Amino acid sequence: MVNNRVLLALASTGVALMMSGCQSSGSCCVANNSEAAIAKADAARAQLSRLVGAWDLDGWWKGNGNDRNTVHGRAAGVLENQYFVLMDVQTTSGEMAGRTARKSGSFLFASEPGIGLTASAWGDASPSISRFVGTAQGNGIVFKPAHNAYPNAELVLTFESDNRFTAEVVQGSDVHASYTFTRSAAK
């Protein structure tokens, strides 16, 4: 069984999007520095950049006995160092279901040449960092836990438009959590 708190942290904590891999010209990038790898990473970065902005969050997660727990909040995604998007999430009502966060957390997403899409998550409930590796699929991104700690578990981001996306934590065909992010109206 998937530890819902670990997987939901990615979907609901804070999202920091690392939008690139190696930042130096040293040997870490040499093997992945082909034009094809860079073009693929740039295309994935463009998809991740859709997470930049201010967001309202509404969603739910399954607790013990499959009871649905609702959560509401806000999130902000910002471009960092020209390559990264950092998304911080904070609840305004309810609690998130993730090993790393209850009331607030952060994500760092990246598109690393030769590796692909990655995400790291941390939050107020745990100092440890959870790492995920993803692939672009259709109108979204599917992330799986690194190191295969939770087999068959996925975090699925689906972009419905530039102003709305959903994040679902899925194991097999069972959705453990679903969060909808809607771009905040300018005030």
**Domain total in the chain:** 1
pLDDT of residue 9: 37
Average pLDDT of span 148-176: 88
Nearest in space to 20 (alpha carbons), one of 50, 45, 40: 45
pLDDT of residue 98: 65
pLDDT for residue 15 is more than 50: no
* Average model confidence (pLDDT) across the chain: 78
pLDDT of residue 161: 94
Q: Is the dihedral of CA 60, 150, 130, 49 positive or negative?
A: negative
| Strand boundaries in the chain, DSSP class E | 16-17, 53-62, 68-80, 84-94, 104-112, 116-123, 126-137, 140-145, 153-161, 164-171, 174-183
Average pLDDT of span 135-150: 83
Q: Output the CA–CA distances (angstroms, integers) from residue 150 to 21, 61, 166, in the order listed.
A: 24, 17, 21
Q: Which amino acid, residue 69?
A: N
pLDDT of residue 86: 95
pLDDT in tens, 102-120: 788 899 999 887 788 999 9
CATH of the domain at 97: 2.40.128.20
The Cα angle at residue 131 between residues 126 and 135, in degrees rounded to 5: 145
Biggest alpha carbon–alpha carbon distance for the chain: 52
pTM: 0.77
Domain hosting residue 9, numbered range: 4-183
